[in-house]
Amino acid sequence: MPKKKFTTCIIIDDDPINIFLHKVIIRRLQNEIEIVAFSDASKGLEYIKGNYSEDTLNNTLILLDLNMPVMNGKQFIKEIMKLDETIKKQLEILIVSSSIDEFDMESCHLYRSCFSVSKIIQKPLTLKMVKEIIF
């Protein structure tokens, strides 16, 4: 099965170094992709609600950190799950976390069964890892 060609990548991570690293890696693999980054998951949610509708035809990859202040990755996913199905179909979530907490990983695997959380991987991302998993 061919891998998807994403038109947009939304990076949600509270660490500016990780945001920078993710941008560099994604840009090297898919030069024409639009990259939008948020250090606050609630701002990323606002962006999606304001820019996605049943009329948009986006194919968006979301690189989502789990452990963040204000709104964590699990809360973000719960809010995304409330959106209209036509919006959710435009999104694919890749959880990127430095957490090795077993509870975090188990709860994320539950999300994989009910929403488009395609992968759960540990930081740091590498060019090879992203190329094999996503592009």
| Contact residues for 44 (Cβ-Cβ < 8 A; gap 6+) | 10, 12, 38, 62, 76
Where are the chain's structural domains?
8-133
Question: What pLDDT, in 10s, does the model give residues 60-90?
Answer: 999 999 888 889 988 998 899 899 999 998 9
What letters, b where the CB count within 10 A reaches 16 and e where it falls short, cover 71-95?
bbbbebbebbeebeeebbebbbbbb
Distance CA 83, CA 74 (A): 15
Is 1 strand, coil or helix? coil
Residue 116's identity, in one-letter code, is S
Q: Which residue has the higher pLDDT, 106 or 57?
A: 57
**Averaged pLDDT, 8-37:** 94
Instruction: Identify the CATH assignment for 8-133 out of 3.30.420.40, 3.40.50.2300, 3.40.50.300, 3.30.70.1230.
Output: 3.40.50.2300
Distance CA 46, CA 43 (A): 5
Q: Which residue has the higher pLDDT, 117 or 110?
A: 117
The segment with the largest mean pLDDT, out of 18-27, 67-76, 106-115, is 18-27
**Averaged pLDDT, 43-54:** 96
